[in-house]
Amino acid sequence: MRKFLSLAVIAGALVISACNTVEGVGRDVSSAGDAVAGAAKDSK
């Protein structure tokens, strides 16, 4: 039981940190997309 609880805590910590990481990557990709769209609009 103690081993299971330890694994559950570790898994929970990984899930929480993964959400923050994915959110950061999403913002980076969004800003890169905006930059590409702006460059394409300027080249018209």
Nearest to 41 by CA among 28, 27, 33: 33
Say whether pLDDT at 24 is over 70.
yes
Place of tokens 């570790």: 10
User: What is the percent of the chain where pLDDT is above 90?
Assistant: 0
Average pLDDT over residues 3-20: 77
pTM for the structure as a whole: 0.51
Nearest to 7 by CA among 23, 27, 15: 15
Query: Model confidence at 19, in pLDDT bands (50, 70, 90)?
Result: low
